[in-house]
Structure 1
Amino acid sequence: MKIVFMGTPDFAAHFLEHLVASDNEVLAVVTQPDRPAGRGRVLTAPPVKVAAQNHGLPVLQPLDLHSPEFEADLRKFNADLFVVVAYSILPKNILGVARFGAVNVHGSLLPKYRGAAPVQRAIADGLAETGVTVFRLDEKMDHGPILAQRTVVIDHQDTTASLLEKMVAPGCEALDDAIAQLNNGCEKDLTQDHAQASGAPKIKKEEGLIDFSLPAKVIHNRIRAFNPWPGGYGKLGGRMVYLRKTDTPENGPKLVPGEVAFDGKRFFVGTGDGVLEVLEIQAEGKKPMPVADFMRGIQKREGLAFC
């Protein structure tokens, strides 16, 4: 299968590497333009571009997917298939350029969690499992017929970063399944049950602000979902801190929402239902650290609380 790959972040780069190592022929890569990154705002190539350059693949970084020039550039490759992983919604004219159209690798069991943040939303909702879906792209978001799916378990301490890592292997397996169906002319093309669809809108930074009046389990899930970005954060002792890893112990001190208590090397915060134990924390401008190290640097005074 002659493939043009489209994607941008680290997650997508894993799928590009898989396709390059397979029996398929990757003709070119399409990715987002280089962007300023880091404190120095240095112009930085997206991970997919870096991977493509390592393999000597042509790279397209269009500013406008609707431009005639982009369509003309794609047609030159005479591709059988476009494989899309964490890129952009493709215009109708682009979907028809490749012989088999375009397939997308999406981080949920569609039709659940359509949108930009399926992994984060599944964790935040406290699900025990999610999955990866490979489907045919059409003009609507995450709407097309399904070719292959694989289920992925969400563990109690999984974060967005760790769950994305767990999705790579089953996602590559599902992608291989879908490509084989297209090659053999035996596509499943299972129409999604659109009545069961749910949304996964893009995460906003302000969603990371922790509301300690919520139950401990809800807060724990949101902290995991927003790791690494935007993080679960609040003000403690006048400075912003991020709770990077937490747990929800069965037994702990009785605290009002936001109230902090120390028990030896353990750090607890009260919530609207139950207590949250902080295992890893990060002061603004600092690196994440075990809570015991953080506790040595603060005054363990009575009445300390998040606000």
Structure 2
Amino acid sequence: MNEDQYRKLRIIYMGTPEFAVTSLNVLVEAGCNVVAVITAPDKPAGRGMELQQSAVKKYAVSKNLPVLQPEKLKNPAFLEKLKALKADLQICVAFRMLPEAVWNMPPMGTINLHGSLLPQYRGAAPINWAVINGEKETGVTTFKLQHEIDTGDILLQESFPIKETDTAGTIHDLMMHVGAGLLLKTVKGLADGSLREMPQLLSTDQTLRHAPKIFTETCEINTTRKTEEIYNLIRGLSPYPAAFTFLKEKKLKIYRAEKLPVVPGVAAGEFTTDGKTYLHLACSDGSLNLLEIQLEGKKRMLIEDFLRGYRF
């Protein structure tokens, strides 16, 4: 097969947020034949509750790509439209769970881009949990969809380091670009027959880590834990939904902090401040110097700006 074989594949692309736009753009720019884009229905948002299009829909419309926005993926009318598109391959990036009637439709199946090195961190929040758990490395995986979520055969993987100062936000942005490149490489490999599917296997010395959905209770800081753990929780939940504690019974979200090795002279959970330049949160074995925060009812701000208007 010649190296442009991938351009002949009829591809249906499924995705919703900004993360999925980067991959779609890379495929379109490479000359892939995207015959339709499937994304979430328009939703009312903002003060005027005006209908908002997903990031993927906005991009698709700008490129004159046909868009389908089914409320329900098992809807017979939608399935008929999907069938009529005669796709060779479907690609799913940051979309919802697909029923078998959808993922099993094209002859080459459906591939998914996942934000971890599978089988590690299967689930809804792989970026967050890798940072929360203090991992030094993460990556992206392309794999074939099958019945159990995030368990299909691996096609390609690419890893990269997690730096000490990285947050879920910085990893998300890096992964968006690394993943887009890996996805294009996957499509080319499937088209020319050079890719071999590999089952997800865990080596004997590995413990399987999961990436469940983040809930409010996940975000509350337990100050009796070690400084390192709390620091990683803050990084892993920044910029959204953000780790929090309480200051005078008001919720205090923490977006950025740095570790202080000095054991505080106050109990874990207590704050110390000079009222001007620093606000420290005591942990079980050290302190955190808070750098960027948001107090309930206020806007997000740097600590110096916060202290200028707050009286302890």
Using the size of structure 1 for normalisation, the TM-score is: 0.92
**Aligned partner (choices 162, 187, 211) of residue 200 of structure 1:** 211
AA aligned opposite 1:261: T
Conserved? CA contact 1:152–1:166, under 8 Å: no
What aligned pairs does 1:295-306 form with structure 2 within 5 A after superposition? Answer: 295-300=307-312
Residues 212-259 of structure 1 show CA distances to partners (whole Å, capped at 9, x for unaligned) of 111111111111211222211122134222111011123364331111
Whole-Å separation in 1 of the counterparts to 2:53 and 2:216: 23
**1:159 corresponds to which residue?**
167
Whole-Å separation in 1 of the counterparts to 2:280 and 2:59: 43
**2:66 corresponds to which residue?**
58
**2:116 corresponds to which residue?**
108
**2:283 corresponds to which residue?**
271
Matched, 1:46 2:54: yes
SS in 1 for 2:139: strand
Whole-Å separation in 2 of the counterparts to 1:197 and 1:85: 23
Whole-Å separation in 2 of the counterparts to 1:262 and 1:144: 51
**Aligned partner (choices 186, 189, 194) of residue 194 of structure 2:** 186
**1:291 corresponds to which residue?**
303
* 1:197 CA displacement: 4.2
Residues 251-270 of structure 1 show CA distances to partners (whole Å, capped at 9, x for unaligned) of 36433111111256122110
**1:304 corresponds to which residue?**
none
**2:238 corresponds to which residue?**
227
Q: Which of 90-99 and 269-278 deviates more? A: 90-99
AA aligned opposite 1:3: I
- Assess, with a 3 A threshold, how the Cα gap between structure 1 residues 120 and 27 changes in structure 2: closer, same or farther: same
What aligned pairs does 1:256-267 form with structure 2 within 5 A after superposition? Answer: 256-263=267-274, 265-267=277-279
Whole-Å separation in 1 of the counterparts to 2:252 and 2:141: 36
- Assess, with a 3 A threshold, how the Cα gap between structure 1 residues 221 and 254 changes in structure 2: closer, same or farther: same
AA aligned opposite 2:250: R
Whole-Å separation in 2 of the counterparts to 1:43 and 1:181: 39
* 1:134 CA displacement: 0.4
* 1:194 CA displacement: 5.8
Percent identity at matched positions?
37
**1:144 corresponds to which residue?**
152
Whole-Å separation in 2 of the counterparts to 1:114 and 1:276: 31
Conserved? CA contact 1:252–1:268, under 8 Å: no
SS in 2 for 1:164: helix
**2:32 corresponds to which residue?**
24
Count of residues in Structure 1 that have an aligned counterpart in Structure 2: 300
**Aligned partner (choices 90, 93, 104) of residue 96 of structure 1:** 104
Residues 129-161 of structure 1 show CA distances to partners (whole Å, capped at 9, x for unaligned) of 111000011111011111110102112222222
Residues 7-33 of structure 1 show CA distances to partners (whole Å, capped at 9, x for unaligned) of 111111111111111121111111112
CA RMSD of aligned residues (A): 1.8
AA aligned opposite 1:214: R
**Large movers: runs of 4+ above 4 Å:** 194-197
Residues 47-103 of structure 1 show CA distances to partners (whole Å, capped at 9, x for unaligned) of 111111111211111111122222211112211211101112222221232231110
Whole-Å separation in 2 of the counterparts to 1:69 and 1:101: 21
* 1:34 CA displacement: 2.1
SS in 1 for 2:260: coil
* 1:40 CA displacement: 5.0
Q: Which of 229-238 and 59-68 deviates more? A: 229-238
SS in 2 for 1:248: strand
Q: Which runs of 5+ in 1 are unaligned?
A: 301-307
* 1:200 CA displacement: 1.0
